[in-house]
Amino acid sequence: MVDPRHKRPKVLTLMPIYHPIAYGASYASQLLLESDFSSVYELHHINSRFADTVAGVGGVSVKKLVLFFKYLSLLLIALITVRPDYVILLPAFNRSAYLKDSIYHVVCAVLARRKVIWWSHNWGLRRLYDGSGHLMRRYIRWIAGSVYAVVTPGSQQHADFDFLFQLKQLHAIPHGLPSEAYDMDRFDEHHDFRVLYLSNFVLSKGWRVLLDAAQQVCACRTDMAFDFYGNVSNDTSLNDIIEAFTSTGFPERIIYHGPAYGPVKHKAFETADIFCFPTFYPMETFGIVNLEAMNAGLPIITTDHANIPEIVVDGWGGILVPKQDPVALAEAILRLSDDRNVRLRMGAYNQRQFYAQYTVDKFVQSWISLVRSFEDEHMSD
């Protein structure tokens, strides 16, 4: 008989993976699936993608209903044939998405009696609960009672769960990225001063806020340029973007370049002096793009939102500005543009922090250690 202590625990994941990567949760999921996690644990994956692009995320359609039943069937088959020890689900907390995800959860945790780990890439559980009626609240509490553990990218996000879960169920694992090589001496070269935005063009990611700030800066400074990269979204079409950028009055210095992947993305970070991410996205958790800027040795101007203050340290790695405040954002940009020594100090600090805490190896090891702690706890029961 095999000693259960020597068996590799089986982990089943139901997570959406997009190619090319559409947003941070998808990228983090892919990194985990392709990592050493799969050599330590017997890993099985179902790609529960409901849209082909980030613009298609959200909403209801016949196609998505068909896909829901497809993934539910695959999940049932995997639960029967694989018999996983743990199932990792990525719940969403708008009402329709939560109801869909809760069915997956019930099948895994209640019917199959598997240990379900929620890997939460967005906020909203408390908001959903507070805005629900009596029956929906009872349902949410019942679902929460069968969740084995919750993993979030940052500890501040625990405030979205601690009214339904015990603190020992809540775990913070910061995202991590593969490191890329950047020449820090590049800042000694003379070039136009460039400010970078790189994220999906969701309105609440703050791209219009930065666009307003960019116009203020360009009106008083002739040596400043702003580069915007990103995909269209379900609230911003390509026509919306083109119209917004052609009406700035500074089309040669405030430029939309389209999506950025691979070498294009690397060059965007390589040629920037400051990275700006003025997000107020309601479901923002971490801002993986901030890690890319840290790896590139850039100072960051962002908002005191979600888990971001845990990674972008105000005054050390960048400046945190109020949300939806283009005046404050413009002032922060000008302040950093006028002080090269502060920019270099902040960029170097960010790069040290990246290699100390936010590499993909540290991210994966944290996941391996977490599941191992669950196993140790099981053995001691």
pLDDT tens by residue, 355-367? 999 999 999 999 9
Band (4; pLDDT cuts 50, 70, 90):
very low
Cα separations (Å) of 346 from 135, 174, 202, 299, 356?
Answer: 50, 20, 27, 5, 15
Higher pLDDT, 327 or 379: 327
Contacts of 129 (CB under 8 A, 6+ apart): 137, 140, 163, 164
Does the pLDDT of residue 105 top 50, yes or no?
yes
State residue 57's pLDDT score.
53
State residue 184's pLDDT score.
81
110 DSSP assignment: I
Does the pLDDT of residue 56 top 70, yes or no?
no
Same domain (yes/no): 350, 363? no
Q: What is the CATH number of the domain that holds 38?
A: 3.40.50.2000
Cα separations (Å) of 76 from 72, 79, 168?
Answer: 6, 5, 29
Query: H or E stretch including 88?
Result: strand 86-89
For range 255-265, the mean pLDDT: 95
pLDDT in tens, 73-103: 999 999 999 999 999 999 999 999 999 999 9
Same domain (yes/no): 131, 224? no
Band (17; pLDDT cuts 50, 70, 90):
confident
Q: Average per-residue pLDDT in the chain?
A: 92
For range 169-174, the mean pLDDT: 97
* Residues paired with residue 152 on neighbouring β-strands, in sequence order: 172
Which of 5-19, 34-48, 201-215 is the least confident region? 5-19
Does the pLDDT of residue 194 top 70, yes or no?
yes
Same domain (yes/no): 217, 170? no
**Burial per residue of 89-123, b for 16 or more beta-carbon CB atoms within 10 angstroms, e otherwise:** bbbbbeeebbebbbebbebbbeebebbbbbbbbbb
pLDDT in tens, 313-350: 999 999 999 999 999 999 999 999 999 999 999 999 99
Residue 89's nearest CA partner among 105, 73, 106, 110 is: 105
Band (3; pLDDT cuts 50, 70, 90):
very low
The domain tally of the chain equals: 2
State residue 69's pLDDT score.
95
How far apart are the C-alpha atoms of 107 and 373, rounded to whole Å?
A: 25
Please report how the helices 24-33 and 288-295 are oriented relative to each other, as an axis angle in degrees rounded to 10. 70
Does the pLDDT of residue 172 top 80, yes or no?
yes
164 DSSP assignment: T
% of the chain residues with pLDDT over 70: 93
How far apart are the C-alpha atoms of 303 and 253, rounded to whole Å?
A: 24
33 DSSP assignment: H
State residue 52's pLDDT score.
61
Domain that holds residue 231: 184-357
Same domain (yes/no): 145, 243? no
For range 363-373, the mean pLDDT: 97
Same domain (yes/no): 160, 290? no
Same domain (yes/no): 188, 149? no
Same domain (yes/no): 211, 342? yes
**Burial per residue of 232-252, b for 16 or more beta-carbon CB atoms within 10 angstroms, e otherwise:** bbeebeeeebeebbeebebee
Same domain (yes/no): 132, 96? yes
Same domain (yes/no): 99, 142? yes
Same domain (yes/no): 100, 223? no
Same domain (yes/no): 350, 204? yes
**379 in Cβ contact with 3 (< 8 Å):** no
Same domain (yes/no): 158, 193? no
Contacts of 247 (CB under 8 A, 6+ apart): none
